[in-house]
């Protein structure tokens, strides 16, 4: 794993997007991500949307032994429809890390950095797993121009809570 930047704390603004949200098992999740990416890029082309930013993969609910609630999206002000829905990445303080290759190691590094620096992920337990206010991977390298995922520059972001504020229950 190559760390390009971070880990660090960053304040991010509210950001609008369109995306496709599904529930899928962890095993095979990245194949599903790739299919959603192809579907979303096709939808953007079909709707003449050319003014969009980074592609991202958002993790709404994580259960490594069960279903994962995930979303593939692109940053844009364009409105979605019944399948490709409009959404918002919420403003807030995020732990951030930019890396190339080895997503699991990068995620572990960022989660440990959050813990070691006295922050907490803005997440809570629900029956389906751990739900996040906002956790995503932004593909800073355009997946349409670089097919080798091991060469992608990826920005991880996990919204964190203020350690001085009460946590959700």
Whole-Å CA distances, 107 to 50, 82, 136:
31, 32, 10
The domain over range 2-161 is classified in CATH as 3.30.1490.20: no
Opening angle at CA 57, ends 21 and 60, nearest 5: 55
Contact, 87 vs 18, CB < 8 A? yes
- pLDDT score of 49 more than 70: yes
In this structure, the dihedral spanned by the alpha carbons of residues 60, 102, 32 and 138, taken in order and rounded to 10 degrees, is: 50
Q: pLDDT by residue (tens digit) across 93-134?
A: 999 999 999 999 999 999 999 999 999 999 999 999 999 999
Alpha carbons 161 and 164: distance in angstroms, whole number = 8
- The model's pTM is 0.93
Tokens standing for 138?
């932004």
Q: pLDDT by residue (tens digit) across 129-149?
A: 999 999 999 999 999 999 899
What pLDDT was estimated at residue 17?
98
What pLDDT was estimated at residue 168?
52
Contact, 116 vs 128, CB < 8 A? no
């Amino acid at each position: 794993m190559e760390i390009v930047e971070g880990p660090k704390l960053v304040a991010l603004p509210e950001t609008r997007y369109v995306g496709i949200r599904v529930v899928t098992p962890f095993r095979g999740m990245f194949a599903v991500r790739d299919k959603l990416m192809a579907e979303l890029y096709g939808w953007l082309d079909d709707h003449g949307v050319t003014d969009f930013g980074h592609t991202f993969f958002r993790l709404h609910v994580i259960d490594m032994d069960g279903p994962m609630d995930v979303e593939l999206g692109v940053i844009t002000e364009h409105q979605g429809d019944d399948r490709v829905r409009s959404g918002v990445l919420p403003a807030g303080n995020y732990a951030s890390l930019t890396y190339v290759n080895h997503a699991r190691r990068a995620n572990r590094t960022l989660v440990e950095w959050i813990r070691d620096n006295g922050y907490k992920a803005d997440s809570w337990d629900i029956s389906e797993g751990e739900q996040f206010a906002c956790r995503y991977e932004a593909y800073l390298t355009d997946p349409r121009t670089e097919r080798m995922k091991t060469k992608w520059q990826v920005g991880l972001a996990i919204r964190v809570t203020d350690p001085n504020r009460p946590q959700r229950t």
